[in-house]
Chain A
Amino acid sequence: QKEVEQNSGPLSVPEGAIASLNCTYSDRGSQSFFWYRQYSGKSPELIMFIYSNGDKEDGRFTAQLNKASQYVSLLIRDSQPSDSATYLCAVNAESGYALNFGKGTSLLVTP
């Protein structure tokens, strides 16, 4: 079974701070890594994807990938209360577009 592990949280950060979310995966053959955000009662929406080692920045979000250590992280700079949600890490499964998801980390940004 290919595992994707996340700390369930909740992770609480003050408004304006940097939120750091982490994820580890078990399958060394994984090629593509995704971060989805899910608000309560809503469906997941894609924030970022990364497939090369290193950092990838998009606005206030930075995804970091370290394949040797099998971890991927998401940094949210200048956190806002509207960022409060569950963040899901996903790793591509085998062929096709199927994804293995972690159980998510709940983020709470306090004003």
Chain B
Amino acid sequence: KAGVTQTPRYLIKTRGQQVTLSCSPISGHRSVSWYQQTPGQGLQFLFEYFSETQRNKGNFPGRFSGRQFSNSRSEMNVSTLELGDSALYLCASSSPTGFNGEQFFGPGTRLTVL
């Protein structure tokens, strides 16, 4: 079974631009969560989608948004990029039959904002 895939793997943007990141979960997984990882703050939860609905949201500004499609693929968007948005963005998927919270992570997208 293929794992979680994320595209692109690396991205360089400038301040003020916007970016869209994509995540394809493991086949059959309907929950997709997004996390931001930085050296200073560690792994921080952004939001979770389940069956195309946002089920949870972390403490991030409205510039961070996401959506999920009917095939469970998910995208997150960051508008008006700031230098502090430079981070590794990780997507994780969960199985509806798996243990609550057992999440499988993708390789991440490394975003650099100049």
- List A residues at the B interface (Cβ < 8 Å): 1, 31-32, 34, 42-46, 49, 88, 90, 92-104
Contacts and interface: CB of A to CB of B under 8 A. Distances in A.
Interface stretch (B12-20, B64-72, B73-81, B99-107): B99-107
A43 B55 CA distance: 23
Q: Taking chain A's interface residues, is the majority helix, strand, or loop, or is none over half, making it mixed?
A: loop
Residues of B in contact with A, size category = 20 to 34
Contacts of A92: 100-101
Contact of B42 (A32, A34, A101): A101
A95 B53 CA distance: 13
Contact of A96 (B42, B55, B59, B99): B55
Contacts of A1: 59
B43 interface: yes
Interface in B31-81: 31, 33, 35, 41-45, 48, 50, 55-56, 58-59
